[in-house]
């Protein structure tokens, strides 16, 4: 059968003060009633069975994750896998694969197709997402590791870039190269050449194909995983290095395919993205919560605690929570990471 792994271990701070170490982005309702994790689960369950849907998260978030899962499908509660610490995405996927292979008969094990999905992104058109995933399933059965690419229109340095090669039909292509988090100059040239797509961070594979790639390109992680399968109580999580699937496998693997995303996608990586995607009022403002806005224009105004009153501002971000407030010009939203760093240094 098919199985899904939802990665919910990130500790994003770019949406401070709403996202915090103890309440990262995936656990927040950023653009609606449901949290990003709940939207991801609802979407995933339109393709994958609940029994075969696994959520990997940090130990300290299990309680909150369980509560959120219960409201989507009570059957999911048993499918939470807790990591004692974040080791990035490759170990998280291996941890879940351990469970997935354990639940399948030995004959079914290698042929099982697995989808991996970040928990903290926005997907616009779920029906289109579903048909892309179904297209991906058939390529994964053919032995490709399948990625999903979104149109790259700005030189974002926080993304992976996928170079499109020969067409495989139905919006799919062979991948000619993968570059994770390029520098600005390189990102500019990849956007300009029109042959690159942004990696959305979702991928699909056949379990045996993925494990063979780990064995070849991340042998230390493979040895750890295999030893751990045999002696789960002896080998802990602390001893392996952090590694992302992007750096560890995608930059090195040969048999990669990409499906052009036929849906709107955004990783909601900053407040400007929340503003861009939000519903605007007649003054171009995105307003959430208990906010009084007089003569405000083109601003993001959010309160999650207490009354926020603003007057006469334009192109601003103001986010208020019970114990902290952020205010900055829209054009300076990258500065949030400096704010977070400065606060951490303050202690
Ligand atoms: N369980 C678990 N454990 N999940 C994790 C961990 C971990 O240690 N680290 C990250 N994740 C989850 C995050 O919650 C997120 O949903 C997903 O894995 C991706 O991790 P990020 O840390 O957000 O990666 P990134 O944004 O730097 O880069 C990735 O995503 C980009 C698109 O948003 C890469 O795949 C890029 O190539 C891609 O363009
Ligand atoms: Mg991310």
More confident residue, 234 or 165: 165
- Answer whether 122's CB lies under 8 Å from 129's CB: no
Which of 89, 160, 261, when mutated, tests ligand 1's pocket best, judged by the most ligand atoms within 8 Å of its CB? 89
Q: What is the pLDDT of residues 30-69, one digit of tens each?
A: 878 899 999 999 999 999 999 999 999 999 999 999 999 9
More confident residue, 190 or 273: 190
Q: How confident is the model at residue 13 (pLDDT cuts 50, 70, 90)?
A: confident
Compute the distance between CA of residue 271 and CA of residue 334 in angstroms, rounded to an integer.
9
**Is residue 37 within 6 Å of ligand 1 at its C-beta?**
no
Q: What is the pLDDT of residues 159-170, one digit of tens each?
A: 999 999 999 999
Distance (angstroms) between ligand 1 centre and the Cα of 267 equals: 10
Distance (angstroms) between ligand 1 centre and the Cα of 78 equals: 23
**Does the pLDDT at position 234 exceed 60?**
no
Distance (angstroms) between ligand 2 centre and the Cα of 73 equals: 25
**Is residue 149 within 6 Å of ligand 1 at its C-beta?**
no
- Answer whether 152's CB lies under 8 Å from 161's CB: yes
Distance (angstroms) between ligand 1 centre and the Cα of 94 equals: 15
**Is residue 89 within 6 Å of ligand 1 at its C-beta?**
yes
ipTM, 2 dp: 0.99
**Is residue 7 within 6 Å of ligand 1 at its C-beta?**
yes
Other C-beta atoms lying within 10 Å of the C-beta of residue 5: 27
**Is residue 243 within 6 Å of ligand 1 at its C-beta?**
no
Compute the distance between CA of residue 203 and CA of residue 244 in angstroms, rounded to an integer.
13
**Does the pLDDT at position 274 exceed 60?**
yes
**Phi, psi of 198, rounded to the nearest 5 degrees:** -75, 140
**Is residue 92 within 6 Å of ligand 1 at its C-beta?**
yes
Compute the distance between CA of residue 244 and CA of residue 159 in angstroms, rounded to an integer.
13
**Is residue 44 within 6 Å of ligand 1 at its C-beta?**
no
**Is residue 270 within 6 Å of ligand 1 at its C-beta?**
no
The structure tokens 């979104």 sit at 150
Distances (CA, A) of 32 to 38, 247, 284, 306: 11, 33, 18, 19
Give residues with Cβ within 8 angstroms of 164, minimum separation 6.
149, 173, 175, 176, 195, 196, 197, 258
Q: Which atom of ligand 1 is nearest to the CA of 160?
A: 37
**Phi, psi of 328, rounded to the nearest 5 degrees:** -160, 155
**Is residue 87 within 6 Å of ligand 1 at its C-beta?**
yes
Determine the distance from the C-alpha atom of residue 224 to the mean position of all C-alpha atoms in its chain, rounded to a whole number. Answer: 25
Structure tokens given for 273: 């993205």
Distance (angstroms) between ligand 1 centre and the Cα of 296 equals: 35
Ligand showing the shortest atom-to-Cα distance for residue 120: 1
- Answer whether 8's CB lies under 8 Å from 55's CB: yes
- Is residue 34 classed exposed, middle or buried when 0-12, 13-18 and 19+ CB atoms within 10 A define those classes? middle
What is the mean pLDDT of the segment spanning 301-329? 96
DSSP label of 246:
I
The structure tokens 């040895």 sit at 223
- Closest among 250, 273, 264 to 179, alpha carbons compared: 250
Q: Report the nearest-CA residue for atom 13 of ligand 1.
A: 10
Compute the distance between CA of residue 8 and CA of residue 25 in angstroms, rounded to an integer.
9
Distance (angstroms) between ligand 2 centre and the Cα of 179 equals: 16
**Is residue 267 within 6 Å of ligand 1 at its C-beta?**
yes
Compute the distance between CA of residue 20 and CA of residue 252 in angstroms, rounded to an integer.
34
Q: Which atom of ligand 1 is nearest to the CA of 10?
A: 14
What pLDDT score does 335 carry?
A: 87
- The alpha carbons of the chain give a radius of gyration, in whole angstroms, of 21
Structure tokens given for 119: 């928990």
Q: What is the pLDDT of residues 188-217, one digit of tens each?
A: 999 999 999 999 999 999 999 999 999 999
**Is residue 199 within 6 Å of ligand 1 at its C-beta?**
yes
The two most distant CA atoms of the chain are separated, in Å, by 67
Give residues with Cβ within 8 angstroms of 50, minimum separation 6.
73, 75, 76, 79
Structural domains of the chain, with CATH: 2-266 (3.90.550.10), 271-346 (no CATH)
């Amino acid at each position: 059968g098919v199985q899904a792994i939802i990665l919910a271990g990130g500790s994003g701070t770019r949406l401070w003060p709403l996202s915090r170490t103890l309440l990262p982005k995936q656990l927040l309702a950023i653009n609606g009633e449901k949290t990003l994790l709940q939207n991801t689960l609802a979407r995933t369950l339109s393709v994958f069975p609940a029994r075969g849907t696994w959520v990997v998260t940090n130990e300290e978030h299990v309680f909150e994750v369980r509560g959120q899962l219960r409201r989507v499908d009570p059957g999911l509660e048993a499918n939470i896998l807790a990591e004692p610490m974040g080791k990035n995405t490759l170990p998280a996927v291996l941890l879940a694969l351990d469970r997935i292979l354990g639940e399948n008969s030995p004959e079914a094990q290698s042929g099982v197709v697995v989808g991996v999905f970040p928990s903290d992104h926005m997907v616009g058109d779920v029906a289109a997402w579903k048909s892309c995933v179904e297209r991906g399933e058939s390529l994964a059965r053919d032995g490709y590791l399948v990625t999903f690419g979104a149109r790259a229109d700005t030189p974002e340095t926080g993304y992976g870039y996928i170079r499109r090669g020969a067409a495989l039909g139905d919006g799919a292509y062979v991948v000619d190269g993968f570059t994770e988090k390029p520098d600005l100059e390189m990102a500019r040239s990849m956007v300009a050449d029109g042959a690159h797509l942004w990696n959305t961070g979702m991928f699909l594979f056949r379990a045996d194909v993925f494990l063979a790639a780990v064995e070849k390109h991340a042998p230390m992680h493979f040895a750890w995983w295999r030893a751990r399968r045999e002696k789960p109580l002896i080998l802990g999580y602390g001893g392996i290095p952090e590694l992302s699937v992007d750096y560890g496998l995608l930059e090195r693997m040969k048999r990669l395919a990409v499906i052009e995303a036929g849906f709107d996608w955004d990783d909601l990586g900053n407040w400007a993205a929340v503003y861009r995607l939000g519903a605007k009022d007649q003054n171009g403002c995105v307003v959430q919560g208990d906010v009084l806005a007089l003569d405000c224009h083109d601003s993001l105004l959010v309160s999650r605690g207490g009354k926020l009153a603003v007057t006469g501002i334009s192109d601003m971000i103001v986010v208020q929570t019970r114990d902290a407030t952020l205010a900055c010009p829209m054009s300076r939203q990258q500065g949030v990471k400096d704010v977070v760093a400065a606060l951490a240094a303050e202690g």
